[in-house]
Structure formats: C-alpha cells, structure tokens
C-alpha cells in the first residue's frame, strides 16, 4: 500500500502471480474490471482471492509500458513457511527468522535451516521469534528439543479441573550445542513464549529484545446461536520451572488485551509492570525470573522508533527503486532488472549503496513535493535511508527474503544479539544439567 495505490511489492516463485507474469512495482489498476486505483491493500487482497482453480483478471500499470497490462491469473495455493529467512552474519553467527508461526513443518524447517547454516560455517545461532504469534504446541516442543536433552520438561499444561495436569518433555534427537540468542518482542506469543521460556529457565541461551505478549492460555471457542461464540479457558501454560506465561490484564480493558503486541509501545518503556504471579525462580546461572508477565528478556533492547520522516523515506525508496529497476535512472541503466531472481540470501556488501547512487536518490526524492523531503532532512537520516534503499533494491532485484536480510543486518536488536554471543557461549555447558 503506497500513497497513490496498491503495488506488487514482491513475487513468491512458483505462485499464480509468478506464473502469470506479475512483477515487482506493478501498480494494480483493476480487478475483474472493477476500478482498484483507490483501493486499500486489504480490498485488493479480498477481491483477488477465491476458490482454487478459478480465474481473476488483473490490470496493472508497469513502467516502460505505454498501455496497461492485462493478466488472467489462475488462483492456487501460496506457501507460507514458518521460516522465511536464514543467513550468515559475521563471525560465524547464523540467523534464523522463525516469524511465520508454528505449523506442522516448523521443526523440519528449523532442522533444514540449521543444517544449511552449518555447511556455511555457523558456530553460534540467533533465533528470531519477534512477531511470531504462536501455533502448534507440539512444534514448539520439537523446536526446544533441538537445544535441550530428551526428557526435560519444555512446558507444563495445567487444566482448570483437579488433577488435569501434564508435562510435555523434550523428544530425542540431535542436540545443537551452539551458543544461542533468542529474540522476542510484544508480538511473540503463545508457542513462541513456550520456546523462549524453556530456553531461559534452563540457562540454555540469552533472551533479547522486549517483553513478550503474555498469552499462556489454552482456549476453546464454542459456537452459539445468532453467529456468536464463547471462548472458554480450559488450561494455562507454565515454563519448566513453574512460571505462568499469561500476562495479567485484569486491570486493563479487553481493548488493551487485543492491542498489546509488536506494534504497541514496548513494555520495557512502561513505568508499571503487572505484579508477578507465584514465587520467583532462580536459574543455575543466577538469573531471577518471574511469572505472570510474559517472557522478560535477559537483555532489553527497545525496538527502533519510526517517525513521519522515516515514513516519507520509505515511500521515496520504493518509488526510486521502481524507476531504478526499470532502467529509468540516468547513469544506472545497468541496474535494470526485468524480474526478481528469487535468490534468498545476500553476499557481504551486495547492493551496497554508493555515494553516487545515494546522491541520485536524494535528487529524486527532493524533486517530488509529495514526499516533503530535502537534501538536508535526508542527510539527517542518511544511515536509515541507505538501509531502506538497499532493502528495496535487494527486494526488487532478488526477493523479499533478500530485502529483509538487508534490513536485519543493521537492525539494532540484531547487532546487540551479535554483541552478546560471548555471554551466550558461557551458558552452553549447562545444558546437560540445569542444576549443575
């Protein structure tokens, strides 16, 4: 969604959009002959979706074409993996972005990602759970099982009835004894918190970021007449050492509960935290941990703050890149890219933004009054602008995954995770005996 309509931001290989021939930067003009120029991205998505095998007609505007392009797209499935990004960072540190929820394939995806990163020389691991809303409990247990011995409790499920209690334990398999940093934020919920909580209780790795969501309830929805329903809480999740994952929202409203997440103010910035539930526990490494507040990170790193200027830079980076990959930026015609290569990982220094390219971007952005940008305010955010420009170029030329990598490589939370890897190294030896 951009200021003058909805554009194709990236294409997933092998999907109906790819097979039909849609490209990065295509502006959606109509869907099934309905004018879509003023639609939101949600409206476009609603009208494009439909029953598998049926067809939808889409008209787009593409730079370089004198007339709109017409596409008949046969609807089909679009893969939504749990892990969209994995790549190497400096000093043998691997990064895995487990941000797409816990699905039936999550543990297998993690196994494959780690195996590939080890081939590339991985010695330490950053596991990113930021924004992961949770999912299948058994997959969370399988993920934790990669890092702690079989038989150790991963999560306890305590029901509302007397004696309704069960421990879910780590399953057998190869254990990864690499130093581990797990990243969380306010959008990390449920199964994500189970993973982070177990890693933290056993001193298996460092937890970094901001407080997690605090969703530790097992709930069932019962349908009622008149298109209504009732959600009934039947159990709660607890970490291996007995900490409740559920945040206390009793002093707030239902709105507070459903709006607390990755886009809300970081809980680390709030003056008042919910009271802990139960007694605090102390890990073998001396960390004092509390329940009833989600998972609190060992290393607090607030998320980047975004303002109106950065929003305008984001818009300018997209429109400039759209011209760039169409071969329309003077002096940079060689950067023309007819379609994305679908390469998912960047090489060190790839798509670095040169001074000459940045000057061209500044001239382009400052010339468009809609952006309200000048050379001066762009220079005041030069590092951010260069990162966003590199992300956009990597996306347009390669893939969304490559673009995300470009952004993550300068993410302050990721950079701090790299910095604390030596601390995580000191925790690995305790995995065989948490009370050693």
Contacts 24+ apart (CB under 8 A), 319-324: 319/2, 319/364, 319/368, 320/360, 320/361, 320/364, 320/365, 320/389, 320/392, 321/25, 321/389, 321/392, 321/393, 321/395, 321/396, 322/7, 322/24, 322/25, 322/63, 322/396, 323/63, 323/364, 324/393, 324/396
Residue 154: CA count within 13 A, CB half-sphere:
26
Contact 235, 155 (CB under 8 A): no
Identify whether 330 is a catalytic site residue: no
Whole-number Å distance between alpha carbons of 432 and 436: 8
Identify whether 65 is a catalytic site residue: no
Among candidates 269, 414, 270, 393, which has minimal Cα distance to 335?
393
Task: Tell me whether strands 281-282 and 93-98 are parallel, antiparallel or unpaired.
Answer: unpaired
Residue 389: which residues within 8 A CB-CB, separation 6 or more? 317, 320, 321, 353, 357, 358, 361
Please list, residue by residue across 358-367, b when 16 or more beta carbons sit within 10 angstroms of its beta carbon and e when fewer do: bebbbebbbe
> CA-CA distances (angstroms) from residue 234 to 156, 216, 217?
14, 11, 8
What are the start-end ranges of the H helices in 130-212? Answer: 137-144, 191-201
Instruction: Give the relative orientation of helices 137-144 and 191-201 as an angle to the nearest 10 degrees.
Output: 30
Going by the DSSP 8-state scheme, the letter that residue 233 receives in this structure is E
Whole-number Å distance between alpha carbons of 76 and 137: 28
Contact 343, 399 (CB under 8 A): yes
Of 26, 124, 192, 201, the active-site residue reads 201
Torsion of CA 19, 20, 21, 24, to 10 degrees: -90
Identify whether 215 is a catalytic site residue: yes
What length does the chain have?
Answer: 436
Of 215, 244, 298, 362, the active-site residue reads 215
Going by the DSSP 8-state scheme, the letter that residue 100 receives in this structure is S
Of 10, 113, 145, 190, the active-site residue reads 190
- E strand residue ranges, 82-185: 83-89, 93-98, 124-128, 153-159, 165-169, 180-184
Going by the DSSP 8-state scheme, the letter that residue 37 receives in this structure is T
Whole-number Å distance between alpha carbons of 33 and 241: 59
Contact 405, 128 (CB under 8 A): no
| Residues that are catalytic | 190, 201, 215
């Amino acid at each position: 969604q951009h200021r003058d309509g909805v554009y194709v931001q990236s294409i997933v290989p092998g999907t109906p959009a790819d097979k039909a021939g849609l490209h990065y930067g295509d502006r959606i003009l109509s869907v099934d002959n309905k004018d879509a120029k003023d639609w939101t991205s949600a409206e476009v998505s609603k009208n494009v979706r439909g029953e598998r095998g049926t067809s939808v007609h889409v008209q787009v505007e593409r730079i370089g074409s004198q007339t709109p392009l017409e596409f008949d797209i046969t609807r089909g499935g679009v893969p939504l993996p749990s892990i969209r990004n994995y790549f190497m960072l400096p000093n043998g540190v691997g990064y895995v972005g487990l941000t797409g929820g816990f699905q039936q394939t999550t543990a297998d995806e993690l196994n494959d990602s780690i195996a590939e990163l080890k081939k590339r020389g991985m010695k330490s691991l950053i596991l990113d759970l930021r924004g992961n809303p949770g999912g299948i409990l058994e997959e969370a247990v399988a993920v934790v099982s990669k890092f702690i011995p079989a038989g150790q409790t991963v999560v306890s499920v305590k029901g509302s009835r007397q004696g309704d209690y069960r421990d879910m334990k780590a399953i057998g398999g190869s254990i990864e004894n690499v130093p581990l940093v797990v990243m969380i934020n306010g959008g990390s919920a449920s199964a994500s918190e189970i993973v982070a909580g177990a890693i933290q209780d056993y001193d298996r790795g460092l937890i970094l970021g901001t407080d997690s969501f605090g969703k530790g309830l097992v709930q069932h929805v019962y349908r009622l007449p008149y298109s209504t329903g009732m959600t009934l809480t039947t159990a709660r999740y607890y970490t291996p050492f007995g900490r409740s994952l559920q945040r206390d929202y009793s002093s707030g409203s239902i709105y507070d509960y459903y709006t607390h997440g990755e886009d809300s103010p970081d809980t680390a910035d709030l003056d008042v935290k919910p009271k802990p539930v139960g007694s605090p526990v102390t890990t073998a490494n001396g960390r004092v941990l509390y329940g009833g507040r989600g998972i609190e990170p060992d290393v607090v790193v607030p998320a980047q703050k975004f303002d109106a200027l950065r929003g305008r830079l984001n818009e300018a980076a997209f429109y400039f890149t759209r011209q760039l990959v169409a071969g329309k930026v003077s002096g940079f015609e060689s950067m023309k890219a007819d379609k994305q290569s679908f390469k998912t990982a960047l090489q060190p220094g790839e798509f670095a933004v040169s001074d000459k390219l940045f000057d061209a971007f500044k001239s382009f952005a400052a010339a468009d009054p809609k952006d309200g940008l000048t050379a001066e305010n762009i220079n005041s955010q030069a590092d951010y602008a260069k990162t966003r420009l590199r992300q956009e170029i990597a996306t347009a030329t390669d893939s969304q995954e490559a673009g995300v990598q470009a952004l993550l490589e300068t993410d302050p939370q990721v950079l701090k995770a790299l910095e604390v890897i030596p601390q995580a190294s000191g925790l690995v030896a305790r995995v065989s005996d948490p009370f050693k």
